[in-house]
């Protein structure tokens, strides 16, 4: 029989001695007690020292990655594209024996940091960032031994990290060529923040391709808006376009931006409705946007690629890039909501 005094002190005993919750003790012990006061932190540490608390099992689990929880932090779950990738990830992770926790960071650094702290405290096996923004905790996590995978957007600071996504530059070049082959001379580009590597790569490659073929895009035809909401960016940019001579084509750097542009032009009753292109080709397009041609990303391929990165690639300590195939889906459906294509 094991003597009672030889049993390890539990975290519950430390919480009781300090007069705090078990969760607070866990955060203090793991160094992520950002919301605890200095007095609380001191009290927890004093109680742990008095009881000679040693989180041996927790430390071993953290070192050996024995937990099965994978955290997926998405930048905007209102975007059907993000939801489709998350769905693919959940199914693949579940088949591989992992449990997925899904969080929406709303594309904000503070909320992303809050979730990163929590997932570290809970000893997540890996963290998958589906659209990351630069933040203090991201820098800390990315420079640690934590398994971390970037999906859709690369590390915001360009650090070497495992990445899964499409070749954004190649897709943008394909769109630019399509515009020129169709004779669209006056092209507008509408984009979100270039802090996103995907947006930066798309805009830069498209503009470079037009210049290469002697068809530069005018600076006043490259539009954005001060918002993280892609629908709002599209709507505000579309309203600005409606007050000018209409472009032959609009290339939106996401489908949601394209939706916003389309609505603005429709409500403004533009005389000549442009061809609209997008990125992502989210699953709703065939149902609600027969007017939208878009670069389709292979949603079903993301899940298995994420599992490979979480289970195999990062375990070897190597950062790898996995480029998935894209397809340009061209739709010739009605573009004018009033009933006829006025072109």
Contact between 253 and 279 under an 8 Å Cβ cutoff? The reply is: yes
DSSP string, 163-190: EEEE-HHHHHHHHHHHHHHTT--SEEEE
For residue range 253-298, list pLDDT tens digits in order.
Answer: 999 999 999 999 999 998 888 999 999 999 889 999 999 999 999 9
Alpha carbon separation from 114 to 32, 121, 141, 247 (Å, rounded): 10, 11, 12, 43
The predicted pLDDT at position 7 comes to 56
Query: pLDDT value at position 336?
Result: 62
Which residues are registered as beta bridge partners of 162?
Answer: 149
pLDDT in tens, 291-304: 999 999 999 999 99
- Given this model, what pLDDT does residue 31 score? 66
pLDDT score for 203: 97
What percent of the chain clears pLDDT 70, i.e. is strictly above it?
A: 87
pLDDT tier for residue 225 given thresholds of 50, 70 and 90: very high
Tell me the C-alpha distance between 184 and 106, whole Å: 35
pLDDT at 3: 39
Query: Going from the N-terminus, what domains does the chain have, and what CATH number goes with each?
Result: 4-47 (no CATH), 65-165+299-324 (3.40.50.2300), 168-298 (3.40.50.2300)
Contacts of 24 (CB under 8 A, 6+ apart): 15, 18, 33, 36, 40, 44
> Does 170 have pLDDT greater than 70?
yes
- Its pTM stands at 0.77
Q: Which residue has the higher pLDDT, 314 or 136?
A: 136
> Which tens digit of pLDDT belongs to each residue from 179-196?
999 999 999 999 999 999
Tokens describing residue 235: 């709507």
Work out the average pLDDT over 53-80: 73
Confidence of residue 5 (pLDDT cuts 50, 70, 90): very low
pLDDT band at 95 (very low <50, low <70, confident <90, very high): very high
pLDDT at 66 over 60: no
Taking CA 335 as the corner, what is the angle to CA 240 and CA 269, rounded to the nearest 5 degrees? 45
- The secondary structure of 17-44, three-state, reads HHCCCHHHHHHHHCCCCCCCCHHHHHHH
Average pLDDT over residues 33-62: 75
Name 280's bridge partners.
296
Instruction: Confirm if 136 and 114 have CB atoms less than 8 A apart.
Output: no
| pLDDT of res. 27 | 81
pLDDT at residue 1 greater than cutoff 60: no
- pLDDT tens by residue, 287-333: 999 999 999 999 999 999 999 998 765 555 567 899 999 999 999 86
Backbone angles phi, psi at 232, to 5 degrees: -65, -40
Average pLDDT of the segment spanning 125-131: 94
Task: Say which residue, 295 or 48, is predicted with more confidence.
Answer: 295
Q: Cα separation of 158 and 197, whole Å? A: 9
3-state secondary structure of 210: helix
Name the band, by pLDDT with cuts 50, 70 and 90, for residue 68.
confident
């Amino acid at each position: 029989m094991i003597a009672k005094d030889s049993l390890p002190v539990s975290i519950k005993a430390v919480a009781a001695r300090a007069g705090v919750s078990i969760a607070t003790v866990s955060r203090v012990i793991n160094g992520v007690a950002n919301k605890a006061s200095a007095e609380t932190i001191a009290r927890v540490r004093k109680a742990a020292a008095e009881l000679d608390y040693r989180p041996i099992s927790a430390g071993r689990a953290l070192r050996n990655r024995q937990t099965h929880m994978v955290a997926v932090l998405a930048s905007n779950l209102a975007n059907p594209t993000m939801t489709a990738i998350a769905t693919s990830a959940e199914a693949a992770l579940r088949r591989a024996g992992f449990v997925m926790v899904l969080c929406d960071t709303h594309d904000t650094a503070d909320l992303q940091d809050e979730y990163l702290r929590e997932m570290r405290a809970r000893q997540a096996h890996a963290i998958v960032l589906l659209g990351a923004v630069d933040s203090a905790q991201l820098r800390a996590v990315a420079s640690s031994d934590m398994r971390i995978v970037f999906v859709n957007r690369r590390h915001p600071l360009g650090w070497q990290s495992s990445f899964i996504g499409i070749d954004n530059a190649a897709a943008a070049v394909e769109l630019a060529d399509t515009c020129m082959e169709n004779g669209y001379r006056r092209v507008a580009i509408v984009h979100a923040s270039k802090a996103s590597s995907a947006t930066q790569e798309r805009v830069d490659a498209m503009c470079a391709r037009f210049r290469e073929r002697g068809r530069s895009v005018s600076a006043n035809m490259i539009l954005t808006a001060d918002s993280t909401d892609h629908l709002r960016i599209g709507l505000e940019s579309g309203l600005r376009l409606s007050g000018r001579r209409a472009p032959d084509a609009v290339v939106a750097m996401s489908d949601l931006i394209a939706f916003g542009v389309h609505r603005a032009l429709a409500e403004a009753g533009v005389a000549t409705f442009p061809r609209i292109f997008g990125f992502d080709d989210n699953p709703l397009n065939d149902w609600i946007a027969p007017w939208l041609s878009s670069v389709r990303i292979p949603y079903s391929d993301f899940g298995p690629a994420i599992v490979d990165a979480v289970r195999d690639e990062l375990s070897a300590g190597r950062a790898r890039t996995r480029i998935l195939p894209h397809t340009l889906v061209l739709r010739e459906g009605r573009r004018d909501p009033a009933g006829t294509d006025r072109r």
